[in-house]
Amino acid sequence: MSDYVTQETFDKMREELQRMKSIERPAASKAIAEAREKGDLKENAEYDAAKEAQGMLEAKIKQLEGVISNAKIVDPGTIDISKVTILTKVTITNLATKKTVTYQIVGEKEADLKLGKISASSPIGSGLLGKVIGEVAEVQAPNGIIKFKVENISI
């Protein structure tokens, strides 16, 4: 499945991948070589740990390569703000508590609740997608259905 990201996030992922391949991978190989020089591999915990770390690094590299290859870059200039879509900022009011919050709808890789960014695949994010100003979204939560009124949509 593809994940929608901004150009900035896409560039950060590529930089992270490059760092893992050019710095961390050679360091892991060096650690294995140093551990191998310390003798019997059957009883060498340092060698086992270095091999395990290398395996985890290779898995992270493979996973990040997959994310990058499936990423869809969204240009903020082409976003339709007549309805809630990926990368829009939506101001909503919880109809039960009357609390108003603003979230930006983003892909899973960019989601960060502390920064007000929620994933389009989260319950609230998916419940808001496609809604227009004034419309009420009903979101299934563990404690029941929560109703949110869309107050504003912007970039």
pLDDT at 71: 85
Contact 141, 122 (CB under 8 A): no
Distance CA 137, CA 153 (A): 14
| Positions in the chain whose pLDDT score sits under 50 | 1
Burial of 108 (0-12, 13-18, 19+ CB in 10 A): middle
pLDDT at 41: 66
pLDDT at 46: 83
Distance CA 106, CA 131 (A): 15
Tell me the two tokens of residue 25.
Answer: 């991978």
How would DSSP label each residue in 56-91?
A: HHHHHHHHHHHHHHH-EE--GGG--TTS--TT-EEE
Q: 144: part of which helix (H) or strand (E)?
A: strand 144-154
Contact 72, 5 (CB under 8 A): yes
Beta bridge partners of 141: 144
pLDDT at 44: 76
Contact 106, 92 (CB under 8 A): no
Distance CA 17, CA 68 (A): 9
Domains belonging to the chain, first-starting first, are 4-73 (1.10.287.180), 76-154 (3.10.50.30)
Dihedral, CA atoms, 53, 59, 62, 66, nearest 10 degrees?
Answer: -140
